[in-house]
Chain A
Amino acid sequence: MSYVLAKSQNDDIHKAGECGGAVTSILKYLLDEGIVDGVLAISPCDDVYDGVPTFVTDSEDLIKTAGSYHCAPTMIGDLVQKYFFDKKVAVTAKPCDMRAIEELITRHKIKRDNIYVIGLNCGGTVSPVSGRKMIDLFYEADPDDVISEEIDKGQFIIELADGSEEAVKIHDLENEGYGRRTNCQRCDVKIPRKANLACGNWGAEDGWTFIEINDEKGQELIDGAKKAGILETKTPAQGAIDGRAKVEGIMIKMANKVQNAVYPTVSEMDEWSRCISCYACRDVCPICWCFENCELNKPYFKDETNIPPTPIAFQGVRLSHMSFSCVDCGQCDDVCPMDIPVSLIFDKLQKKYFNRTGYVAGVSDDIKPPLYSPEKTEL
């Protein structure tokens, strides 16, 4: 594991990128050299609140994926699994994406050799709808005028077309029920250390990207991109490394505070009686991969006359299948048409499982989640 500061040698990418365009440059290197068949990254669609996963095969098109989008909480782990199993792909991944990819690798749904993961540090994402509302309420700007947003030093910062910036403390926003998504507030994995590289601006000076190289594959990427003349690197000062560690520490501390709150059980929450059995939470879950073979589709659990379903026979079954591998991506919350805080329970069960076994989904080095292992041990 080592650290470098990097920036793009290509002027267009340097300008378009969030902090020096290092990520886009590395992706360009991978495509140009033919190391991968394509790149899966997020590109904006209508505005900054609208990020769409895009599969890029021509490096000229990469420029539109440059920049970061905090209001586009999409998941790419399941896309890789569904559509690119036999392809060599490079993906950009925030920590929960990386954790999902890691869990899918242990389930043999993604081939480790086929995938290059450029990790992105993440302090949390904001849902598009509440993002717009929040900017309308707490900022003087019109949500449509925002050209870029950033989370830095505990503040949510927006940048307007005329170059002016406005910032509000995340803490204040979250007290009012806005700010980051609730699962992001709980999340304590801020740097994707299982990815080949973990990139971000924490600790970096302006115009540079701070990169943590996590493994040999990552080192090869940096060396290769440098050799191809597309990436410029330098060794970061100790101050930069410390600064980055400090930001991470503060983020984790904030998360721990939220985790320590006491959450009600399913039976204590009225929200669960709103369930309409639409299965959207299951379909969007990056860990749930059985699809048609899902046990919930079996005649002994499929019950179309009983709505809302008995929670234990619906979410209980899903919990028993994969809650120990829940990566807390919050997709189930996002898609639930009845606004049930689904991820709350799944994350809670994964934390319980962690207390029993020490297994953190997508972070621990175990070859299999302990529940599956043939070992002769009791909990």
Chain B
Amino acid sequence: MADDLKIVGLLCNWCCYGGADTAGTARMQYSPNIRIIRVMCSGRISPSMIFKAFQEGADGVFVGGCHIGDCHYDAGNYKWSRRSKIVEDILEEFGIEKERFCHEWISASEGEKFQRTMEEFRKELNKLGPLELD
């Protein structure tokens, strides 16, 4: 069952995507369930993208951005961090457990953190099982 779980990952081009790259080049093993979508900045991710992912059958959605203060575009990750709270509030209303939605700040050098985050997220989703929307 664990292999069937689908995770959609929206990763910021400058940090988290680089982090995933670092994990890859260093041959760190992480869960293959994640489907990575590269975006230019976590600040351009709108809540509807998260909802669309869940509607299309994702069991979990992960968003990765630069550490606070490191945003390539100055304040994009602040915007995302505020927006993520709204996403959490809305998901709760629609019966989607808040553990299915996860976001983390990962820099391009933190391959190991990316690996660890992915493993932990997958474990969490394993506990919850596949998402069933009405």
Which of B46, B68, B96 lies in contact with A312, CB distance below 8 A? B96
User: Smallest CB–CB gap between A289 and chain B, Å?
Assistant: 17
Contacts of B51 in A (CB 8 A): 312-313, 316-317, 320
Our count of residue pairs bridging A and B at CB distance below 8 angstroms stands at 84
Please determine whether A320 and B46 come into contact, CB atoms closer than 8 angstroms: yes
Please determine whether A266 and B94 come into contact, CB atoms closer than 8 angstroms: yes
Which of B78, B87, B92 lies in contact with A378, CB distance below 8 A? B78
Please determine whether A265 and B95 come into contact, CB atoms closer than 8 angstroms: yes
Which of B46, B81, B89 lies in contact with A349, CB distance below 8 A? B89
Q: How many residues of B contact A (CB 8 A)?
A: 27
Q: Which of B54-106 contact A (CB under 8 A)?
A: 54-55, 68, 75, 78-79, 81-83, 85-87, 89-96
CA A378 to CA B92, docked complex, whole Å: 20
Q: Judge if B27 is at the interface, Cβ distance under 8 Å.
A: no
Contact (A345, B134) CB under 8 Å given A378-B78, A379-B85: no
Please determine whether B90 and A379 come into contact, CB atoms closer than 8 angstroms: no
CA A324 to CA B68, docked complex, whole Å: 24
Contacts of A320 in B (CB 8 A): 46-48, 51, 86-87, 90
Per DSSP, are chain A's interface residues mostly helix, strand or loop, or mixed? Answer: helix
CB nearest to A306 among chain B residues:
B55
CA A363 to CA B92, docked complex, whole Å: 26
Please determine whether B94 and A356 come into contact, CB atoms closer than 8 angstroms: no
Please determine whether A379 and B81 come into contact, CB atoms closer than 8 angstroms: yes
Please determine whether B82 and A267 come into contact, CB atoms closer than 8 angstroms: no
CA A345 to CA B92, docked complex, whole Å: 11
Per DSSP, are chain B's interface residues mostly helix, strand or loop, or mixed? Answer: helix
The stretch of A45-53, A177-185, A276-284, A369-377 that contacts the partner chain: A369-377
Q: Judge if B133 is at the interface, Cβ distance under 8 Å.
A: yes
Q: Judge if B127 is at the interface, Cβ distance under 8 Å.
A: no
CA A375 to CA B77, docked complex, whole Å: 11
Contacts of B85 in A (CB 8 A): 356, 379
CA A345 to CA B90, docked complex, whole Å: 9
Please determine whether A312 and B55 come into contact, CB atoms closer than 8 angstroms: yes
Q: How many residues of A contact B (CB 8 A)?
A: 33
CB nearest to A352 among chain B residues:
B89
Please determine whether B81 and A378 come into contact, CB atoms closer than 8 angstroms: yes
Contacts of B68 in A (CB 8 A): 378
Please determine whether A312 and B82 come into contact, CB atoms closer than 8 angstroms: no
Please determine whether A371 and B83 come into contact, CB atoms closer than 8 angstroms: yes
Contacts of A317 in B (CB 8 A): 47-48, 51
Which of B52, B81, B82, B91 lies in contact with A300, CB distance below 8 A? B52
CA A378 to CA B103, docked complex, whole Å: 14
CA A370 to CA B79, docked complex, whole Å: 10
Q: Most chain-B Cβ atoms within 10 A of its Cβ — which of A321, A370, A378? A: A378
Contact (A376, B133) CB under 8 Å given A265-B94, A301-B52, A316-B51: no
Please determine whether A273 and B134 come into contact, CB atoms closer than 8 angstroms: yes
Contacts of B86 in A (CB 8 A): 320, 323-324, 349, 353, 371
CA A320 to CA B54, docked complex, whole Å: 15
Contact (A376, B90) CB under 8 Å given A267-B134, A273-B134, A370-B82: no
Q: Judge if A37 is at the interface, Cβ distance under 8 Å.
A: no
Contacts of B95 in A (CB 8 A): 265-268
User: Smallest CB–CB gap between A297 and chain B, Å?
Assistant: 12
Q: A316-B94, A379-B85 are in contact. List 7 more A-B contacts (CB 8 A).
A: A266-B94, A312-B51, A312-B94, A312-B133, A313-B51, A376-B78, A378-B78
Can you list 13 contacts pairing A with B, beta carbon distance less than 8 Å?
A265-B95, A267-B93, A273-B134, A311-B94, A316-B51, A316-B93, A349-B90, A352-B89, A353-B86, A371-B83, A375-B75, A377-B78, A378-B78
| Chain A interface residues (CB < 8 Å from chain B) | 265-268, 273, 295, 300-301, 310-313, 316-317, 319-321, 323-324, 345, 348-349, 352-353, 356, 370-371, 374-379
